[in-house]
């Protein structure tokens, strides 16, 4: 305990460099933690959300737009197309053998920030979802809520709700009211955040006598996209290309599109990693200098400890202990900053409907901790070497 | 026959380019030895050799039956922590710690458990018990030297080495400190070696082996 107090007093005497070391170290650790977390948690969350959708077929637009809008339900819908035209294309001989399931989706309205998707009852088996309460819709203006939507909106069968135009929580309200008929069990996927209603609801909700401009929705013959599940993985690469040859249709594999997006983000991630690593190196340098400064300032105290019975090894351990104490304070600060940053990032992603959870992967966390401890010990080598070669009589007479 | 605490055999130490030879010494428990000589005569070098901190050019130092310079560095440190107390001319207290912590760090440095009773007892005997919780840098010179003496005695050493212990004190305070040091040494059966250039102190050292060290000779 008295040794710890001796070390703490030493750190307090040079509080400026101590705080700088801890601050820079904490920033580096927080940065690396966030990068490790984002690298594992975001792709995992995205993968979970799109795992059931092998292909999205929609109007002419970019593949990434289709994937983000119709598979991930993150961005506004881009346009409409005739459902019959898509169904006809999917029924052609070159495509049909690969299509296991298909389900149309149309979007454009929301209720308190949760997107309403007009679709068919096939969407539940498409996503492997089952009802946990109530029943599915049987007519227009009946609605089934995903588990997360039901939880956050406190929905249960029998509750009536009025949707609003657009995806923002403060959009113009419609006159017609929906009645909740069922709640889905959690799937861990995109469905959890959605409110599902029949395609025929579109016309009922938007029957305003023409005073309301509703560009994203349409009568139930027109939809934003058709989601497709394949019979074989082989179709992932070829089928979207084949369908996109059409003049009016685009098709995209969400998995491939998001892989491309991740590849585009790679330089950004690498850049952030390098910046965090530079901060880490800076922290190690400052730590080494701070320890040396501490040794210089307390040379007489260290010499005294030699007289009192400490060996050079004891003094080296004291210096290493001081270094490890600073490192662990930086690790603690880094963890706190990382958790705060994680919470902010997760909140930002959640506002786009992407639930990201989980911690920094254990292997990366262990690597980061081990590297911090090793670098901490290495930074104490300078003072340790100096103590091992210093002559006691010279130190005494200094 | 009192227990033999310190023995030297054919000891010579380095001081700059000089080599200082020393006759064989034997110091028993409770005995005192003065090393008297002018500044630069090698008194401190000799004390450091006796403490196991500066290797002598030749010879042997035996403390409590253990040949000091045949022990490994860690062994010498251990013996120094447990068997040798050291009093410096400039006290060498750790400013940022309290008086009590300054005493307890002597225990910790020697890998011994805290001993509050011993510390309190010593501070009381030296008249500085009320200062136990005060930071060392707030003490007067005389108080600092008393605390430094208490710290030197904290681990019940067999040998006390004092390097010009009165150098920073006025004559009266120096005399009082020497009285305390010798009294405590006799009470606890500690062999005491005092390096000093103040010849007036020498008569106070009863039963003392007088040894003066000019630059190149041994008295």
Does A84 share its domain with A184?
Answer: yes
For the stretch B61-101, pLDDT in tens is 999 889 999 999 889 989 999 999 998 888 889 888 899 99
* Nearest residue to A385 via CA among A316, A290, A303, A307: A316
**Residue A10 confidence (pLDDT):** 80
Q: Does A391 touch chain B (CB under 8 A)?
A: yes
Q: Which two tokens stand for residue B53?
A: 């901190």
The answer to whether residue A169 scores a pLDDT higher than 80 is no
Last residue of a domain, one of A252, A270, A285: A252
| Contact criterion met (CB < 8 Å) for A6 and B82 | no
Apex B22 CA angle, B83 and B59, nearest 5: 65
Give the pLDDT band (50/70/90) at residue B118: very high
- Choose the closest CB to A306 out of B53, B78, B96: B53
Give the pLDDT band (50/70/90) at residue B216: very low
For the stretch A68-101, pLDDT in tens is 888 878 788 778 888 888 888 888 888 888 899 9
Give the pLDDT band (50/70/90) at residue A181: very high
Q: Where are the domains of chain B?
A: 4-95+159-212
Does A104 share its domain with A239?
Answer: yes
**Residue A394 confidence (pLDDT):** 60
H or E element at residue A342? helix A312-350
Contact between B104 and B118 under an 8 Å Cβ cutoff? The reply is no
Does A180 share its domain with A265?
Answer: no
Give the pLDDT band (50/70/90) at residue A216: very low
Measured CA to CA, the distance from residue B76 to residue A152 in angstroms comes to: 70
Q: Which two tokens stand for residue B160?
A: 């006390």
Residues of B in contact with A12 (CB under 8 A): 96
**Residue A170 confidence (pLDDT):** 67
Does A246 share its domain with A168?
Answer: yes
Q: Does A4 touch chain B (CB under 8 A)?
A: no
Decide which of B208 and A338 is more confident. A338
Q: Does A300 touch chain B (CB under 8 A)?
A: yes
Q: Which two tokens stand for residue A381?
A: 């080598």
Shortest Cα distance, chain B CAs vs residue A322, angstroms:
16
Measured CA to CA, the distance from residue A341 to residue A189 in angstroms comes to: 24
Which range of residues forms the domain containing residue A163?
55-252
For the stretch A268-319, pLDDT in tens is 888 888 888 888 888 888 888 887 877 777 777 888 888 888 888 888 888 8
Measured CA to CA, the distance from residue A9 to residue A297 in angstroms comes to: 12
Does A90 share its domain with A108?
Answer: yes
Measured CA to CA, the distance from residue A360 to residue A368 in angstroms comes to: 10
Contact between A195 and A115 under an 8 Å Cβ cutoff? The reply is yes
| Contact criterion met (CB < 8 Å) for B77 and A5 | no
Last residue of a domain, one of A252, A282, A298: A252
Backbone angles phi, psi at A238, to 5 degrees: -90, -40
Does A60 share its domain with A41?
Answer: no
The answer to whether residue B180 scores a pLDDT higher than 70 is yes
CB proximity under 8 Å: A 113-142 to B? none
For the stretch A131-164, pLDDT in tens is 999 999 998 889 999 998 999 899 999 999 888 8
Does A131 share its domain with A41?
Answer: no
CATH match for B4-95+159-212 among 3.40.50.300, 3.90.1150.10, 3.40.50.1100, 3.40.50.720: 3.40.50.300
Residues of B in contact with A308 (CB under 8 A): 80-81, 86, 105-106, 109-110, 151
How far, in Å, are A81, A249, A362, B107 from residue A225 at the CA level? 7, 10, 39, 79
Give the pLDDT band (50/70/90) at residue A214: very low
Average confidence (pLDDT) over A101-124: 90
Query: Residues, chain B, total?
Result: 219
For the stretch A20-66, pLDDT in tens is 888 888 988 888 888 888 888 888 877 777 778 889 998 988 888 88
- Bridge partners, A114 (sequence order): A111
């Amino acid at each position: 305990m008295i040794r710890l107090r001796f070390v703490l007093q030493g750190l307090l005497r040079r509080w400026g460099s101590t705080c700088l070391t801890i601050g820079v170290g904490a920033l580096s650790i927080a940065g690396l933690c966030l990068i490790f977390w984002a690298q594992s948690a975001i792709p995992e969350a995205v993968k979970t959300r799109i795992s059931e959708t092998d292909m999205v077929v929609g109007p002419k637009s970019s593949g990434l737009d289709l994937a983000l809008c119709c598979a991930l339900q993150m961005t506004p819908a881009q346009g409409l197309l005739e459902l019959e035209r898509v169904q006809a294309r999917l029924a052609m001989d070159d495509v049909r053998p690969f299509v296991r399931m298909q389900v149309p989706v149309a979007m454009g309205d929301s209720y308190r920030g949760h997107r309403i998707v007009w679709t068919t009852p096939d969407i539940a088996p498409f996503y492997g979802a089952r009802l946990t309460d109530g029943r599915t819709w049987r007519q227009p203006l009946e609605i089934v809520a995903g588990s997360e939507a039901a939880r956050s909106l406190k929905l249960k069968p029998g509750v009536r709700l009025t949707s609003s135009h657009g995806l923002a929580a403060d959009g113009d309200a419609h006159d017609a009211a929906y009645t909740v008929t069922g709640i889905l069990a959690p799937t861990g996927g995109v469905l959890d955040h959605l409110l599902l209603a029949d395609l025929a609801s579109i016309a009922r909700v938007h029957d305003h006598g023409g005073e309301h401009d509703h560009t994203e929705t349409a009568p139930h013959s027109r939809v934003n996209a058709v989601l497709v599940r394949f019979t074989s993985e082989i179709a992932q690469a070829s089928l979207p290309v084949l369908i996109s040859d059409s003049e009016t249709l685009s098709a995209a594999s969400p998995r491939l599109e998001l892989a491309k997006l991740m590849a585009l983000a790679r330089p950004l991630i690498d850049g952030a990693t390098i910046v965090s690593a530079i901060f880490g190196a800076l922290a190690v340098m400052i730590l080494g200098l701070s320890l040396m400064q501490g040794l210089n300032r307390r040379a007489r105290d260290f010499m005294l400890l030699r007289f009192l019975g400490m060996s050079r090894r004891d003094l080296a351990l004291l210096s290493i202990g001081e270094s490890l104490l600073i490192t662990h304070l930086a690790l603690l600060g880094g963890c706190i900053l990382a958790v705060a940053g994680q919470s902010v990032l997760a909140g930002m992603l959640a506002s786009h409907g992407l639930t990201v959870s989980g911690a920094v992967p254990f292997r990366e966390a262990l690597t980061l901790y081990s590297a911090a401890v090793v670098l901490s010990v290495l930074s104490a080598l300078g003072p340790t070497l100096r103590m091992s070669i210093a002559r006691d009589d010279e130190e005494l007479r200094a | 026959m009192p227990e033999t605490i310190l023995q030297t055999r054919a000891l010579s130490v380095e001081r700059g380019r000089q080599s200082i030879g020393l006759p064989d010494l034997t110091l028993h428990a409770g005995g005192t030895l003065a090393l008297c000589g002018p500044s630069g005569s090698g008194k401190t070098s000799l004390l450091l050799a006796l403490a196991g901190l500066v290797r002598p050019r030749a010879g042997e130092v035996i403390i409590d039956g253990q040949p000091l310079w045949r022990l490994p560095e860690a062994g010498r440190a251990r013996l120094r922590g447990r068997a040798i107390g050291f009093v410096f001319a400039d006290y060498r207290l750790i400013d940022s710690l309290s008086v009590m912590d300054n005493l307890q760090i002597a225990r910790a440095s020697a890998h011994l458990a805290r001993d509050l009773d011993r510390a309190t007892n010593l501070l009381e005997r030296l008249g500085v018990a009320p200062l136990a919780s005060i930071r060392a840098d707030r003490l007067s010179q005389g108080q600092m030297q008393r605390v430094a003496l208490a710290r030197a005695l904290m681990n019940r050493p067999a040998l006390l080495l004092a390097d010009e212990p009165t150098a920073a004190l006025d004559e009266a305070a120096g005399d009082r400190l020497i009285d305390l040091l010798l009294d405590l040494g006799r009470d606890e059966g500690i062999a005491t070696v005092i390096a000093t250039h103040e010849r007036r102190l020498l008569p106070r050292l009863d039963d003392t082996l007088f040894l003066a060290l000019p630059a190149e000779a041994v008295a």
